[in-house]
Structure 1
Amino acid sequence: MSYKDLVKDANNFARILIKKKSRKVLGIYYAVWGFYSLILSFIYAILDSLNINIALLYGLIPIILVIPFAYFTVKIFGSINVDYVKLIGGKDYGMARIGYVIMILLIIMLFISFLLVSRFNLDIAYFVLSYYIYVIFIVYLLYRFLYSKYKLVDPKYYDLIAIFALLLVPLGVVSQTLYPLFIAFEIAWFYASINSLLEVSAIE
């Protein structure tokens, strides 16, 4: 076996390991943000039961809560990015950092749009539009992770279910009748999480 063959085999083996690790991380990611939505719903339910209706508080809670969840997400994906960058020779590294910056800016935009809508009684559509911009960016990141040229895992049907559920989430803020969309999101993401982790355990 030649040196080139050894390198090729080593790279193929490394890709398999990274894909396995990436699927596990994706499963954890689905669970983490499923819990985020669940905790947020629980907090809002408590506030409603106490008849607390302070717009600023409703806007601050998800922003404050998102900080530890976002930090954890960056940490778990960080190790994959390092391995991935080493494997492909440094390509696409800048995109990861740019993605983090854009995400932070979009979260700030969401908070500002919420304040403007609540303070000046603007149409809720303005907030929904901001929400969709944020969600579409998350979907784009998932697309890169699952379907792009440098994808890290092979996409499954439950990934599509999770993405579709995510795209419906912004509509949940339009009216109380659409609140079940948040429940659907939580179910879909926990389902995707369980299946992702089962997939990893099946090949170990």
Structure 2
Amino acid sequence: MAEPQNLVAASAPPAQARIVIIGGGIMGCSVAYHLAALGERDVVLLEQGRLTSGTTWHAAGLVGQLRNHESMTRLIRYSTDLYARLEAETGLSTGWKQCGSLAVARTRDRMVQLKRTAAVAKAHGVTCDVITPAEAGRLYPIMQTADLAGAVWLPGDGKANPADLTLALAKGARNRGVTICEGVRVTGATRMTIDGRSRRIRILDWQDKQGQAGRI
């Protein structure tokens, strides 16, 4: 995995910013990347440790497009396209590999459910083939297929390395002007009333590992 030194800001966080993201895992770095892609430039990301040092590196990195809801299907399709082009954009590996996936059924009821889900997937442009146990066995030879009722094959599914993917997103965000600060922990937040109606967080207190503290 690539070392992230070249992706982070060595200085303390700025005194102010339009948008502050707390957490440098895959979610935080993805939000930073996409905000920058939409034209936001005054964005700061704060991570209390190192990028990916939280739960992100525990993830398996499996990317499956078979979902019951249209919004999730569209999101996963977008993600697979993004992972494929992010390496060329940033020069960092994401570990993305389009290897396909199998979902198997051992009962008729489960097979009916898979067929319904496959129909939904196809309706949203996802390649999803209903196949026989024998066809599933040819795709995955070490699998026992004698007790299967059938399966579905999604050739567009794949896997990625969550940590590498996060660093690529972080570099893409920083290339567009996002400030990323590691070793900076948020210690408090102050809400302020705006127009007498809504209360929004307007001030964040932070402290770095050297004991330096400040507000943003």
**TM-score, normalization by structure 2:** 0.24
Structure with a larger share of its residues in strand: 2
Higher Cα radius of gyration: 2
Structure with a larger share of its residues in helix: 1
**TM-score, normalization by structure 1:** 0.25
